[in-house]
Amino acid sequence: MRGPHNIWRLIRTGATLERTGAMEVVLDAFSAPRLVRIVLRGMVWPFRWLGIKGDVTMPPATRALTALGPAYIKFGQVLSTRPDVVGDELAIQLRVLQDKLPPFSIEQAKASVEAELELPVDEVFSEFGPPVAAASIAQVHRARLRGTGEDVAVKVLRPGIERAFRKDIDAFYFAAGMIEFLSPASRRLRPTDVITHFEGVVLGELDLRLESSSASEFAANTVGDAGFGLPEIQWMFSGRRVMTMSWVGGVPLGDNAAIDAAGHDRRVLGERVLQLFLNHALRDGFFHADMHQGNLKIAANGDIIAYDFGIMGHIDEYTRRVYAEILFGFIRKDYKRVAEVHFEAGYVPANRDVDEFARALRAVGEPIFGMDATQISMGRLLSYLFDVTERFGMETRTELILLQRTMVVVEGVARSLYPQINIWQVAKPIVEDYIKQSIGPRAVLRDLGKTAQVMARFGPRLPGLVEAALIRQATAGDPEPRPSRWAPLLWIGLGALTGAGGTIATLVFLG
């Protein structure tokens, strides 16, 4: 349902921002030029009365995004981690969107649990308390299992959340199509593809069975990570709309006063958050892609505990190596190599000048080296990066959206803990270790070994494949097919290369 009826939703979005006062707040946060302010305010002001009133007790931006729905709340959650972009005051206001939204009733939660588990709540839990956290998609209740007496956290999807998200996403698709139609230059940013990617991510969040599976895989990957922990999934009491996991207490990562009172070192925590993310992304290729403060806690022993595994990112080995080489190039200030990697990976069109791109990257890197986070204007930096991507015709890479988004969020979390953090110094040992393991001579030998294993599995089929290929070549323009006299020797050679299994199969085939 992506038709013109979505114009109404878009109008109401602008009207809600204006009616709640959020429009002015957002424009101030992004230091919008006067002309942009006049145009936007002039477009939406006549429709102000159509806007949703929202909760008048909330600050303007939080009030507007909460009123508009879950997809808008997701956007606000990302901004809440970037006080360097939107300002400290707005970032603090938006943190309410992480886990302090208005909850739905405990009666509705119990009804969802009973419907999903097909068991009475009192039969599963000896205690089932009120919600302790409420976000855009679900809320969490503290409970106690009747059979074992173990304290658990029960996550329950909001009633009607699927339909609400679908309506928002349909409107986003319509807006993306209009942008592409009215502004051909915007097509390099692939707005529709971005919304498609966002839709896939959201749909994954709406099935808690997939989240349970992601949590299980993530736990297996990170079992040896010092200073990091995850709750354990209770599979017997989890389903599509309900997920039960062990209860792990701790101090919210967004409460600096409580962290200080508990005696934790915020500098160490900020560095660890960033290093954990890089390790998970580079080493495992599987990372928590929603690492805002509402999904992280500090246990009594100082461990960082992660929750909410609805959005997880996956990147393949090749992309990891590209990402690592780019980071490593920036760390070494080797801008020429960074530029070359972009061209080799196809991130920059081949008809552009690599040296010119390297100079543009130097203009990004040099001003921020040796500076702590408080000295860097992220707003200006992001603006320049956007200019660079436009100048060199770089298209949006949808496979990297989650990685890039999470990097922005994680850096923001680290900055909120320790504003003086230097991300390059923190990232250097992680990236260097990955480079040594994945791009050096040992990595080449390991890749060759993997290639040989794959070829060995196909060893029995290779003779037939080679014979068919040689017959096609030999009979090109020849009406009488006949195999090449070199085929038997080639079969034996390929069999030897692919291991004993392939060799024996080849000899049997020839016999």
Give the DSSP H/E element, type plus range, for residue 340.
Answer: helix 335-344
Give Dmax over CA atoms of the chain in angstroms. Answer: 87
CA distance 439 to 436: 6
CA distance 486 to 371: 65
- Tell me the domain boundaries of the chain: 6-99, 162-202, 249-439, 447-510
Q: What's 351's DSSP letter?
A: T
Q: What is the pLDDT of residue 467?
A: 73
**Residue 475 half-sphere exposure toward CB, CA atoms < 13 A:** 11
| Among the listed residues 470, 463, 465, the one whose alpha carbon sits nearest the alpha carbon of residue 502 | 463
Is pLDDT at 489 greater than 50 in this prediction? Answer: no
Is pLDDT at 298 greater than 80 in this prediction? Answer: yes
Residues with a known catalytic role: 290
Residue pLDDT, tens place only, 124-149: 999 999 999 888 889 999 999 998 99
Q: Is 490 helix (H, G, I), strand (E, B) or coil?
A: helix
Q: What is the pLDDT of residue 488?
A: 44
Q: Is 148 helix (H, G, I), strand (E, B) or coil?
A: coil
- Contact at 8 Å (CB) between 349 and 392? yes
Q: What is the pLDDT of residue 288?
A: 93
Backbone angles phi, psi at 73, to 5 degrees: -65, -40
Per DSSP bridges, beta strands 251-252 and 125-134 are: unpaired
Q: What is the pLDDT of residue 191?
A: 72
Residues 6+ apart with CB under 8 A from 110: 121, 128
Q: How many CB atoms lie within 10 A of CB 425?
A: 13
Q: What's 282's DSSP letter?
A: I
Is pLDDT at 158 greater than 50 in this prediction? Answer: yes
Mean of pLDDT values over 38-47: 77
Q: How many CB atoms lie within 10 A of CB 472?
A: 10
Residue pLDDT, tens place only, 227-279: 999 999 999 999 999 999 999 889 988 889 999 999 999 999 999 999 999 99
Tell me the range of 144-153, 411-420, 423-432 where mean pLDDT is highest: 144-153
Is pLDDT at 61 greater than 90 in this prediction? Answer: no
Place of tokens 């004993």: 500
- Contact at 8 Å (CB) between 102 and 55? yes
Q: How many CB atoms lie within 10 A of CB 80?
A: 28
Give the DSSP H/E element, type plus range, for residue 252.
Answer: strand 251-252
- Comparison of pLDDT for 118 and 172, the residue scoring more: 118
CA distance 5 to 260: 51
Task: Report which residue type is found at 342.
Answer: H
Q: Which two tokens stand for residue 143?
A: 């409970």
Average model confidence (pLDDT) across the chain:
79
What's the CA angle centered on 343, arms 314 and 181, to 5 degrees? 75
Q: What is the pLDDT of residue 172?
A: 77
| Among the listed residues 424, 430, 417, the one whose alpha carbon sits nearest the alpha carbon of residue 277 | 430
Mean of pLDDT values over 429-453: 73
Q: Is 3 helix (H, G, I), strand (E, B) or coil?
A: coil
CA distance 431 to 331: 9
Mean of pLDDT values over 407-424: 85
Q: Which two tokens stand for residue 228?
A: 């990091």
Q: First and final CA of the chain: distance in angstroms?
A: 64
Residues 6+ apart with CB under 8 A from 105: none
* Portion of the chain with pLDDT greater than 90, in percent: 27
**Residue 187 half-sphere exposure toward CB, CA atoms < 13 A:** 7
The pLDDT-based confidence of 377 (bands split at 50, 70, 90) is low
CA 69 to chain CA centroid, Å, is 21
Q: What is the pLDDT of residue 106?
A: 94
| Among the listed residues 73, 134, 143, 72, the one whose alpha carbon sits nearest the alpha carbon of residue 110 | 143
Q: What is the pLDDT of residue 141?
A: 96
Task: Report which residue type is found at 40.
Answer: L
- Comparison of pLDDT for 403 and 375, the residue scoring more: 403
Q: What is the pLDDT of residue 243?
A: 96
**Residue 116 half-sphere exposure toward CB, CA atoms < 13 A:** 26
Distances (CA, A) of 19 to 42, 46, 60, 72, 74: 13, 11, 9, 16, 21
- Contact at 8 Å (CB) between 123 and 146? yes
Entry field: residues in the chain: 511
CA distance 300 to 248: 10
Place of tokens 């040989």: 452
